[in-house]
C-alpha cells in the first residue's frame, strides 16, 4: 500500500456565531486576513490527515477564532462559555468514522479507494 503524504484543508469564514441563525461568509485568503469589519468573528478550521505508518492515518481538526472588535469578543466569549461543551461533543460525534474518513480522502484529496481502505484507518 502506498504511504499517504500529510494533507491539510484550511477553511475560514466570518460570522456572528451568537446570532440564532449564523451565516458563515467565506472570503478569499487575502480578504480574510484583512477583514476588520466590527461585529464579527473570523473563524479558521483545518481538517488534516497524517500518515502514521503501516498504511494508517490519523485525522485531526483544529479551530481558531478572533473577534474583530472588543464588543464582538465579549459576545463570542459569552457564547463560547455557554455553548462550547455541546459544540465540542457534537464535533467529536461528527468526526469521521474510518469509512467516512476514506470517503473524505477520496473526495477532498482525490485519493483512490485502491490506495486506502477503511480497515487501514485508525
Task: Identify the pLDDT of residue 103.
Answer: 60
Q: Which residue has the cell 473577534?
A: 67
Q: What confidence tens digit (pLDDT) does each residue in 28-75 have?
A: 889 999 999 999 999 998 878 787 777 777 777 788 999 999 999 999
Higher per-residue confidence, 113 vs 12 = 12
Alpha carbon of 55 to those of 47, 61, 100, 122: distances in Å?
Answer: 19, 20, 16, 10
Residues 8-17 have a mean pLDDT of 87
28 vs 109 pLDDT, higher one: 28
Q: Does residue 41 contact residue 16 with C-beta atoms inside 8 Å?
A: yes
Write the CA distances from 50 to 7, 17, 41, integer angstroms: 7, 30, 29
Beta carbons within 8 Å of 54's beta carbon, 6+ residues apart: 120
Q: Which residue has the higher pLDDT, 114 or 13?
A: 13
The pLDDT value given to residue 97: 57
> Rounded CA gap, 87 and 79, in Å?
11
Cβ atoms of 43 and 24 within 8 Å: the answer is yes
Amino acid at each position: 500500500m502506498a504511504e499517504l503524504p500529510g494533507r491539510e484543508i484550511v477553511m475560514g469564514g466570518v460570522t456572528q456565531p451568537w446570532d440564532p441563525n449564523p451565516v458563515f461568509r467565506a472570503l478569499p485568503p487575502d480578504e480574510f486576513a484583512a477583514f476588520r469589519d466590527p461585529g464579527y468573528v473570523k473563524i479558521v478550521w483545518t481538517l488534516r490527515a497524517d500518515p502514521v505508518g503501516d498504511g494508517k492515518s490519523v485525522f485531526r481538526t483544529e479551530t481558531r477564532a478572533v473577534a474583530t472588535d472588543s464588543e464582538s469578543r465579549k459576545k463570542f466569549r459569552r457564547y463560547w462559555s455557554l455553548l462550547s461543551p455541546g459544540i465540542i461533543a457534537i464535533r467529536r460525534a461528527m468526526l469521521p468514522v474510518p469509512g467516512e474518513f476514506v470517503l473524505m480522502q477520496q473526495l477532498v484529496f482525490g485519493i483512490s479507494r485502491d490506495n486506502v481502505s477503511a480497515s487501514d484507518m485508525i
